[in-house]
Structures are given as structure tokens and as C-alpha cells.
Amino acid sequence: MLSTLSLSKRKIFSNSLPPGLGKKKSLNSPDETRTFPKGKIEMATVGGVTFGRATFDPGWKWSEHLRPIAKTKSCEAPHTLHMISGHMQVKMDDGAEIEFGPGDVGVIAPGHDAWALGNEPVVVIDISGLVNYAKQS
């Protein structure tokens, strides 16, 4: 087990990895949390990569709840995502649409709107588009 190290004939249990092996953090103890109407994002940066967990409540829509913060026509963040739960519809500025559900992975280009579908919160892990997402100016 990576979290169990044997040093000087004794075992040490730790959340740290041995030097040179890597680094880890938990989104359950994020570096930063941003809240906004009907949602929040929790972020942790490890080795220069920012991982984010976004939670969108039923009724959330980017154009209604985040456009006032972003001050752009549509979401200009690129996303590389893994859907954990819920369903989300994405509509590109050119009119193309795609639905994401649990277990789906995908890449979304800048220039889109998105909204939660149904009565279940949407939970998504994003590794490319949340550094400036919902950041108050």
C-alpha cells in the first residue's frame, strides 16, 4: 500500500507519498472553495494541475447563474471532465448540443452554455477549466 511506509523497522501511516513518488491532496479538504447561486466548486492544485469538483444544484444554468460573474456571452472556459452524478446538457454557441451523465468523460471547448437536468445535483470533476471559474473580480 502506498500510504504505508516501512522506515527503521516501524510502519508509519501517512497521507504523504515518499519523496519522488508523487504528491496527493483531497478534494474533501480543498485548497479553495467558490460558491455561487445553485452551485460551488472545490479545487486542489497538485504538481501544477488544478483539479476541481463542481456541484450544480437542480435548476442551475450557466447563463443565469454564472454569466453575471463571468461577464461573457457564454462560458469561455475549456473543460476536461468526468461526470460523477447527475445529468448536464451543454449547448455550444453554434447550436450543437450534448448531454453528459454519470461515468461520462469529455472535452468541452470554450463558447457554451450548460445546465443541470432533472432533480439530482450534478457533480463533475474537471481538470482544465476551473482555475478562473466563478472567480469574483
- Sequence ranges of the domains in the chain: 23-126
pLDDT digits (tens, 9 = 90+) for 2-21: 444 444 444 444 456 566 67
pLDDT digits (tens, 9 = 90+) for 70-92: 999 999 999 999 999 999 999 99
| Contact call for residues 59 and 118 (beta carbons, < 8 A) | no
Strand order in the sheet with 122-126: 32-36, 39-46, 49-56, 122-126, 79-85, 105-108
pTM for the structure as a whole: 0.82
Q: What topology is assigned to 23-126 in CATH?
A: Jelly Rolls (2.60.120)
